[in-house]
Structure 1
Amino acid sequence: MNIVATESQPDLIKIYLLESKAEILKVIRSPGFTLPSLLFPVMFYLFFGVIFTMNAASMPTYLLATYGTFGVIGPALFSFGVGIAIERGQGWFELKEVSPMPASAYILGRVAVTFLFSVFTIILLFTIGAIFGEVRLQREQWLLLAVILTFGSIPFCAIGMALGLYLKSNSAPAVVNLLYLPMAFLSGLWVPINFFPELMQSVANFLPAYHLAQLGLKVVSMDSGQSVWLHIGILSLYLVVFSILALKAYTKKDKQ
């Protein structure tokens, strides 16, 4: 009897699931990342979207979309931007590179972290908005808004990945914060964009957070009236450009 030895093919789905689980557990065990990511958007919305807008019936609904945007882009930028930079500094990133695990599993694992925190943040914001802000939406609106915000974080994952591959571990947190917080303000995530001077409103048109927020606001019919395809196009452009920059940084590092 001839026995033919065959190499078993790796189960990519299992690899993706295991790496995603490992990344999620690692982040959950890091309260310095977990607590701010979940609590900051929720606290800001509770104070500025609910408590201080009691006399403005439409503001809790408007700010639910904008603070939802604020809540999902933070984990994307920090999980990729700061996380990758720190792991590069510790040598853990290089260890992952020489392992037989495909690079796509590492990326998908961090996307899973972003999605998980996005979903939890959205649930908390929706709960506060419905109970304390008296936000009333159709079931389809709640679902569509949640989907837009969750998947809208993907371009920010690309931005974070590029930053994580270019920045050093000691400078990454400061640089990401310097990008994240001003972008959030200038995009009208904290204060409605129509309260800004005309020049600042023009600047917002170039920022990805503004376009994601406008997609969310379109669900509740409170957007600025621009085309859905304009917002999707700008977000897609950011995704492509920063993915290319991340790939360039990765290949350059690999050749050194």
Structure 2
Amino acid sequence: MTTLITLEIRRALRNKKFMFFSVLYPPVLYLVIAGGADRRPIPGTELDMGLYYMVAMAAFGAMTAVLLGNSERIAKERESGWVRQLRLTALPGRGYVTAKIAAAATVSLPSIVLVLIVGATVKGVRLEAWQWAAIAAGTWLGSFVFAALGVAIGYLATGDAVRPISMLVYFVLSFAGGLWMPLTFLPDWVQNIAEWIPTHAYAALGTAVEAGGAPHLKDVGILAGYLLLFAGCAAWLYRKDTRKA
């Protein structure tokens, strides 16, 4: 399984388009969105625009890497016969799914780190050392949830359908979870729904640390629940795909 993880990481790093959208695009988007309103306070929170969008774009970049990268790659591998070849090896099904999730989450690290560096050097964000470390760790660990979702979509959709399906899921989760704008700017009914969406809980890990506290147990529990759900769906779809092969 370690060999497969290493192979997946190398393949992702060689994909220039993937590296641009997952690593370079989020910090550029952070600079554009935050703009000159860095110190404008966000109603209902203890954060300003610069702080909020630093965490939001770090989460957005990590989700881009793990969700889109996993889903499209797996769908193409199924059609090319690569997954069928792997089944002939000693690698168990759970090993394949675990390798995909771990490799995708590892590749998300550059995006997270780069957004935090831009926040500190360009946008003038100032935090304690423990806060920087906690935001990076929380954002990385939280990305496993969306890596598992990417695996599930990759087994659910065909090669032709995987891109529109994954993009739809990607944009809906990003908007409804508050990655593009603070939820306090949206109607109450949207905020009530967003509280149970994984992207909201994901970004909330970092914003809680920025405010000087620890991530809320509710957000951690929501992410853990979605991780079990998505990983379970991915494993079930893998076994179903095996029976078809």
TM-score, with length taken from structure 1: 0.86
Give the aligned CA root-mean-square deviation in angstroms.
2.0
Which amino acid in the other structure matches residue 9 of structure 2?
I
Contact 2:177 2:194 in 1 (8 A): yes
Q: Does 1:35 align with 2:20?
A: yes
Answer with 142-151 or 234-243: which moved more: 234-243
Show the counterpart of 1:143: 133
Show the counterpart of 1:23: 8
Show the counterpart of 1:216: 206
Contact 1:88 1:94 in 2 (8 A): yes
Show the counterpart of 1:152: 142
Contact 1:215 1:231 in 2 (8 A): yes
Unaligned runs of 5+ in 2: 42-47
Show the counterpart of 1:70: 60
C-alpha distance in 2, partners of 1:242/1:113? Answer: 16
Which amino acid in the other structure matches residue 39 of structure 1?
L
Show the counterpart of 2:170: 180
Which amino acid in the other structure matches residue 79 of structure 2?
G
C-alpha distance in 2, partners of 1:67/1:141? Answer: 17
Q: Paired residue for 1:242, among 211, 230, 241? A: 230
SS of the counterpart of 1:94?
Answer: helix
Structure 1 residue 54: deviation in Å? Answer: 4.2
Structure 1 residue 70: deviation in Å? Answer: 0.8
TM-score, with length taken from structure 2: 0.90
SS of the counterpart of 2:108?
Answer: helix
Q: Paired residue for 2:197, among 207, 211, 231? A: 207
For 1:120-145, what per-residue CA distance to the aligned partner results, in whole angstroms no more than 9, with x for missing partners? 11221111111111100000000000
Which amino acid in the other structure matches residue 202 of structure 1?
N
Q: Does 1:253 align with 2:230?
A: no
Percent identity among equivalent residues?
A: 28
Q: Report the structure number with the largest CA radius of gyration.
A: 1
SS of the counterpart of 2:51?
Answer: helix
Give the direction of change, closer, same or farther, for the CA distance of 1:52–1:170 in structure 2 (3 Å limit): farther
Structure 1 residue 230: deviation in Å? Answer: 1.0
Show the counterpart of 2:40: 56
Unaligned runs of 5+ in 1: 1-14
Aligned length, in residue pairs: 238
For 1:26-79, what per-residue CA distance to the aligned partner results, in whole angstroms no more than 9, with x for missing partners? 112222222111122111101112x24245272111111111111111111123
